[in-house]
Structure 1
């Protein structure tokens, strides 16, 4: 397989063509169910929610090789909370910048809003690069240690811009 340029695409499920959707779901099952040996209902109904946005990078043939999804949850107080999940990259392409490309696009999509994710514990430092901090006790899900993480709302637009004199 040739080099994959990390071009990130994104769309809600209704705008995904069947081949891309199949590739995204197959990749997630290959990684989370088969590779990590975690039999669980990977297709959980959240993919089809109208506010869910799927992100992916594809190989030169168009097959998804990295993917993630962004959920929007309505909180009890009426606020919306973004939740990043199902972040995965095909085994042989890990470490090639695909996760960074995905996360960069997702964080840009979220903008200044608060967001959460449940990271596999060994990836805590990676998610910290985008401002995510531990937000609760570690837990084990499907025999894999996880840590809840939160990226607080960014108030950069309300902060005065730093000025430099020449």
Structure 2
């Protein structure tokens, strides 16, 4: 298994296809939520993922500079393939994302829009709820923020 991080321009067509395939598989099919995934933020993001030996994307997120989704840097489209869930891949993905943002962009805070059922998971990574619950594509979400200690 291999970790990768690339800007949009440096992604190969095959890598982009595998990333979008996983996002569609989970967010559209598994969660039964038809929505437009391609939102013009991918081009401004750093894409971080764990690939299996066969190249399949097992865990993925995109890292967004400040001012794209929120005034702070943010992490979005966090997803783990069903075959990798429970392996710790999602936790390692988030730890690597946080480290990248803090080390590369010298960010002192990171904001996310999290599905409500994952609140405890994100709290274990230092995020705190910063909004009331809201519906996004009929799924309960909350905003959360992590301030660097």
- Aligned to 2:100, which of 96, 99, 109? 109
Could you tell me which runs of 5 or more consecutive residues in structure 2 were left unpaired when the two chains were aligned: none
Q: Could you say what secondary structure the match of 2:19 adopts?
A: helix
Structure 1 residue 65 and structure 2 residue 58: aligned? yes
Structure 1 residue 12 and structure 2 residue 7: aligned? yes
Q: Tell me what 2:40 maps to.
A: 45
Q: Tell me what 1:161 maps to.
A: none
Task: Please report the TM-score for the alignment, with normalisation by the length of structure 1.
Answer: 0.81
Query: Any idea what the Cα deviations from partners look like across 1:94-132, whole Å, max 9, x if unmatched?
Result: 111111111111110122521100111110111112210
Could you tell me which runs of 5 or more consecutive residues in structure 1 were left unpaired when the two chains were aligned: 156-166
User: 1:74 & 1:31 partners in 2: Cα distance?
Assistant: 27
Q: Tell me what 1:159 maps to.
A: none
The structure 1 segments of at least 4 consecutive aligned residues displaced by more than 3 Å after TM superposition are none
1:116-155 to 2 correspondence within 5 Å? Answer: 116-152=111-147, 154-155=148-149
Following superposition, the deviation at residue 59 of structure 1 comes to: 1.2
Task: Please report the TM-score for the alignment, with normalisation by the length of structure 2.
Answer: 0.90
C-alpha root-mean-square deviation of aligned residues, in Å?
A: 1.7
User: 1:62 & 1:92 partners in 2: Cα distance?
Assistant: 14
Following superposition, the deviation at residue 74 of structure 1 comes to: 2.6
Q: Could you say what secondary structure the match of 1:91 adopts?
A: coil
Structure 1 residue 74 and structure 2 residue 55: aligned? no
Considering only CA atoms, is the larger Rg found in Structure 1 or Structure 2? 1
User: 2:13 & 2:72 partners in 1: Cα distance?
Assistant: 28
Query: Any idea what the Cα deviations from partners look like across 1:69-106, whole Å, max 9, x if unmatched?
Result: 0111338xxxx621111000111221111111111111
